[in-house]
Amino acid sequence: MSRIILMNLVRFIMLIFLQVFLLKNVALYDLATPYLYILFILLLPFETPNVVLFTLSFLLGLTIDMFYDTPGLHAAACTVLALVRVMFISITVQKDGFDNEPEPTLSIMGFRWFFTYALVLTLFHHFFLFNLEVFRITEIQYTLSRFLLSSIFTVFLMLVSGLLFFRRKER
């Protein structure tokens, strides 16, 4: 159990550093900004208690808010992401499969499931984040284009990192 906690702590720190020091400065035409830090929430083990999940999500968002000077936007979006994660997993994953598949990674769950999982959760997170950020009906076209392009960029980076860093499932 301590190995899982240590691995997630390292993942938490690495994704924050990657987001703050590298990805914060990456933007394609001021429309697509990757928010890879949400991968931490997506990769938490299935058996993570909801209280721990929501607390970690809020703390992750609050940490990003400190570096981005956004008062609570990322914290709120990460909390919504945690809620959508709980609902998505309860709908798509069988309860008895938790012992064999402890984490929702690309190598364990397969490409189709992980792609759907990452896409749905990223779309919810980004939609909520960008609408909270702008919150003007006059800028709806700009907001929607940022939401869609940033979601595509983020999911692409998630898939690339999943292919690079996770071992193939042993059968």
User: Which 8-state DSSP code applies to residue 95?
Assistant: G
In the prediction, which pLDDT does 171 show? 42
In a domain, 17, yes or no: no
CB 159 within 8 A of CB 40: no
User: Which domain does 99 fall in, by range?
Assistant: 37-165
Number of structural domains found in the chain: 1
Predicted model pTM? 0.86
In the prediction, which pLDDT does 169 show? 54
Higher pLDDT, 10 or 5: 10
Q: Above 80 in pLDDT, residue 141?
A: yes
In the prediction, which pLDDT does 82 show? 95
Q: How do the residues of the chain divide into helix, strand and coil, expressed in percent and rounded to 5?
A: 75, 0, 25
In a domain, 94, yes or no: yes
In a domain, 22, yes or no: no
In the prediction, which pLDDT does 46 show? 85
CB 8 within 8 A of CB 44: yes
* 62-97 per-position pLDDT tens digit: 999 999 888 889 999 999 999 999 999 888 876 555
Identify the CA nearest to 118 among candidates 70, 152, 163. Answer: 152
In a domain, 41, yes or no: yes
Percent of the chain with pLDDT over 90: 38
Q: Which residue's structure tokens are 């008062």?
A: 71
Amino acid at 149: L
In a domain, 133, yes or no: yes
